[in-house]
Structure 1
């Protein structure tokens, strides 16, 4: 009996050795989960090997000195597919650069977990649905560019909480309602002195311009 158990144990160990080792790094697992849902005709993600200890050697991924992912650069890479909730696991991320691709589907609400995010660049894709209210939790965010997509619904008034926001571009979508005027929204420049519509919000045919002070139904008409 003992001999049979020993043989079985050796067999199990041999199978384990033959199987490719998966990375135990949670950020690597999250990025590989994203990779699995994407189409990559140009092989941009070819180096994303899940058997490595962490993703810091992958192309288009930048880590800090603690080997934590702080930047993801996939702009202008001809990638398509949907963005998933796994992006919310990259809690050390500072820069999410996914612009000028063919990403579709909705913006994951899980992006609101990225408390260290400074720049969110999702412009020039095919994203649909509404802007998640959860983005108002990105207290470090300075740059938000969601322009040139197919986003609908109103601009969440909660985004007025983003006190560090310096640049926002929501132009060329299908947003409706009115534009918040509180917080950083009061500082965004006008396109010209002859229009009430901010440059960052133009070409949204159902957007009615800045809301009135104290207006409750700011998304009226959506």
Structure 2
């Protein structure tokens, strides 16, 4: 391999690391961290793979973010959608508030999304329908509202779905991947009306379902 090829490769790796480091640091700035679990997230370091709770592959690309039960409070940030090689995003059992950024729908390699037991509000992004590799989607025990996007039913690899203990409303899809999930996946959403009838969505109550 020539010197120029090696130099270009190293430049690409460094640029990718900088981009991912910037995305992670944007999240760090958006949260309060009373236990200093993000203390190693130093923006002056080129490689975020040296940070605690961050896992990378052999090409120094971020593949896991494990921050469950870390007592973090604050917001999710749209910059997390830049972590193009991320496979596991685990932020469960924290005190995160605000909406789920639609930009998380860009994480095409995501296998597991664990945001359960927070205080997230707003709707479930329909952009999640782009997460074709997703196997585990756990959004339970938040304060999410609005309809369940019927586009999620096309996630053919989805094995575990938990949307329970929220404030979701309207009807829910029963086709595609949703045909195999038990009622437990949707329990304790008092405003859910039941399944779609013959694959049709009722829109007459849109003013009430928000």
Aligned-residue offset at 1:218: 6.3
Indicate the residue corresponding to 1:201 in structure 2. Answer: 186
Partners of 2:17 and 2:61 within 8 A in 1: no
Q: Does 1:215 align with 2:208?
A: no
**Structure 2 counterpart of 1:165, from 158, 165, 169:** 158
**Structure 1 counterpart of 2:117, from 121, 124, 130:** 124
Q: Does 1:36 align with 2:29?
A: yes
Indicate the residue corresponding to 1:112 in structure 2. Answer: 105
Indicate the residue corresponding to 2:88 in structure 1. Answer: 95
Aligned-residue offset at 1:216: 3.0
Measured against aligned partners, the alpha-carbon deviations of 1:97-122 in whole angstroms (never above 9, x if no partner) come to 00000000000000000000000000
Partners of 1:177 and 1:206 within 8 A in 2: yes
Measured against aligned partners, the alpha-carbon deviations of 1:155-197 in whole angstroms (never above 9, x if no partner) come to 00010111111110000000001121111000113xxxxxxxx
Indicate the residue corresponding to 2:55 in structure 1. Answer: 62
Partners of 1:70 and 1:94 within 8 A in 2: yes
Q: What TM-score do the two structures reach when normalised by structure 1?
A: 0.84
Aligned-residue offset at 1:219: 8.1
Q: Name structure 2 gaps, 5 residues minimum.
A: 1-15
- For residues 87 and 124 of structure 1, the distance between their equivalents in structure 2, rounded to whole angstroms, comes to 19
Partners of 1:75 and 1:101 within 8 A in 2: yes
Aligned-residue offset at 1:202: 0.3
Partners of 1:61 and 1:69 within 8 A in 2: yes
Q: Does 1:151 align with 2:144?
A: yes
Q: CA RMSD in A?
A: 1.4
Measured against aligned partners, the alpha-carbon deviations of 1:96-154 in whole angstroms (never above 9, x if no partner) come to 00000000000000000000000000000000000010011100000000000000001
Aligned-residue offset at 1:217: 2.0
Aligned length in residues: 192
- For residues 218 and 75 of structure 1, the distance between their equivalents in structure 2, rounded to whole angstroms, comes to 37
Partners of 1:178 and 1:219 within 8 A in 2: no
Q: Name structure 1 gaps, 5 residues minimum.
A: 1-22, 190-197
Find the residue that maps to 2:156 and give its secondary structure: coil
- For residues 211 and 26 of structure 1, the distance between their equivalents in structure 2, rounded to whole angstroms, comes to 42
- Rg larger for: 1
